[in-house]
Structure 1
Amino acid sequence: MQTFNLWHKLNLYWNKVILFGLAILISFQASSQVYEQENLPNYDNDLIHYGFYLGGHTANLKVRYNEAYLSNQFDSLHSVIPESAPGFTVGFIFNLRIAQYLDFRTLPGVGLYQYTLNYNTYDRAEEVTYQGKKEAFYAELPLLLKYKSQRRKNFRAYMIGGAKPSFEVSGKRPSEINEDVLLINTFNLALEIGFGIDIYYELFKFSPEIRFSRGLTNALFERQNSYSSPINELVTNSVSIYFQFQ
């Protein structure tokens, strides 16, 4: 699969993204102290809300070796190390109020992901590293429950959790690829949990959120090649920051 040029533009460090998110939260909190009135006082009485979100994430794979690797059947290979890579997600929000402090929400969207594994080998006593990469767009449909605290003027904290199925919508299927490359399944199911803050403004609600994701299914495609031969299972991991507008 052809490499996306966009990855060269996403050359940033995740700690900078976190600091950027914290700076935004602090600036919003400082600016909101100027206003004493309660914005959108009847907002949470509505049954349904719509909106959109923008997000950035860093993603990687957790490697679980197979018996062939653990029994030292690979003389030249000494480790397979995951490498984290940045990406982004955009989508829409559908929020349904279930109870006073509980919402159900689905957030259909599309995300750009890159998964990289570094294969460290020895060649004539010299260490050589080669990479297995998977770059693709995934259609995502998080199904989440949102538990909210009591509102304090224009602020409300919340926790969120649920499941996220995702489907690859770009490139060839693994069964159609003839090259010796890292093959990842086109479907993945992940458990998600996170927290955020609802900030009420005069015309809309802004919700910065941090969410952690852990795969529940094996992301490794069943067909064997040189990239999958030492691996029994691959599990996806990601940390995301979302900026939501409703």
Structure 2
Amino acid sequence: MKKILIVIAVIMLGQTAQAQLFSRERLANIETFDNQFLTWGYFLGFNSYDFKIEYNNEFSNAETDIVVEGSTGFNVGLVGDMRINNYINLRLEPGLYFTQRNLRFPGFTEEADILREVKSTYIHVPLLVKFSTKRLNNWKPFIVGGVSTSLNLSSNEKNPEDNSQGQFRTTTYTNYYELGFGIDFYLYFFKFTPSIRGVFAMSDELVPDADTFSNYTSNISSLNSRGVFINFTFQ
């Protein structure tokens, strides 16, 4: 699913950019928009989260590894943009991200023991630096990078129940670094920006079970979220 989202996003960006580039229309829309020191907007989008899992057992393999099944989630949030110069902007993009990952554990026979649903509702706050090219007609490509933090409202970190009662727990707060690219399109009344970003956790999110020899968490050295965001921004 993650690969499909990336392919769709790249195709959409490429086709829209091509249409703008070869269009005969040369009238500049909202010419002074980028001269503003502060601009605001909102975004809607999709996400696909995964887990990168490191194991204590160096000889883990496909039969012993945990299988992570991702799904497509939904994003919504606000955008605050501060102009540094013609090519650099500082952006704050707080948003609400809904997602779910299913973990399937080896060594069990009952589906209730094998499957752990990890539902997450993130308040995600990235601080990003946007590096843009010169505006070309009514479009402008850019790359973006930065750091972020999230509050997982569904983490279960403080829940006394663990996997022995069917609860897989993760930490409430996580820090990330982010990298991505996109294109600003200057329409008649507003600026429309499709973008794609990779998000990578820098901290371990696993909350171990109380049992030191738990079949669920004892062999996990670290558990780190990673994901792809496809956002459509309106300013």
TM-score, with normalisation over the residues of structure 2? Answer: 0.85
* Distance (whole Å) between structure 1 residues aligned to residue 59 and residue 219 of structure 2: 10
Aligned to 1:220: 206
* Distance (whole Å) between structure 1 residues aligned to residue 87 and residue 132 of structure 2: 5
Matched, 1:229 2:218: yes
Change (3 A) 1:71 1:200: closer
* Distance (whole Å) between structure 1 residues aligned to residue 96 and residue 49 of structure 2: 15
One of 118, 124, 138 as aligned partner of 1:140: 124
Contact 1:120 1:130 in 2 (8 A): yes
* Distance (whole Å) between structure 2 residues aligned to residue 31 and residue 239 of structure 1: 26
Instruction: Provide the identity percentage.
Output: 27
Give per-residue Cα distances to partners, 1:170-214, cap 9 Å, x unaligned: 4x7422241342211111111100000001011000111010011
One of 136, 145, 150 as aligned partner of 1:166: 150
Aligned to 1:61: 51
Structure 1 SS opposite 2:114: strand
Structure 2 SS opposite 1:30: helix
**How many residue pairs align between the two structures?**
225
Q: CA RMSD, aligned part only?
A: 2.7
* Distance (whole Å) between structure 2 residues aligned to residue 180 and residue 122 of structure 1: 13
Amino acid at match of 1:45: N
* Distance (whole Å) between structure 1 residues aligned to residue 103 and residue 185 of structure 2: 39
Contact 2:38 2:83 in 1 (8 A): yes
Aligned to 1:121: 107
Give per-residue Cα distances to partners, 1:137-165, cap 9 Å, x unaligned: 11111110001101111011101000110
One of 27, 33, 52 as aligned partner of 1:37: 27
Matched, 1:21 2:9: yes
Aligned to 1:211: 197
Moved >3 Å (runs of 4+) = 13-25, 69-72, 222-226
Structure 2 SS opposite 1:157: strand
Q: How does 1:64-143 map to 2 (within 5 A)?
A: 64-66=54-56, 69-70=57-58, 78-121=64-107, 130-143=114-127
Residue segments in structure 2 that go unaligned for 5+ positions in a row: none
* Distance (whole Å) between structure 2 residues aligned to residue 176 and residue 137 of structure 1: 16
Amino acid at match of 1:162: G
TM-score, with normalisation over the residues of structure 1? Answer: 0.82
* Distance (whole Å) between structure 2 residues aligned to residue 51 and residue 122 of structure 1: 49
| Bigger mean CA offset, 96-105 vs 113-122 | 113-122
Contact 2:100 2:119 in 1 (8 A): yes
Give per-residue Cα distances to partners, 1:48-79, cap 9 Å, x unaligned: 0000001111111011112xx4489xxxx722
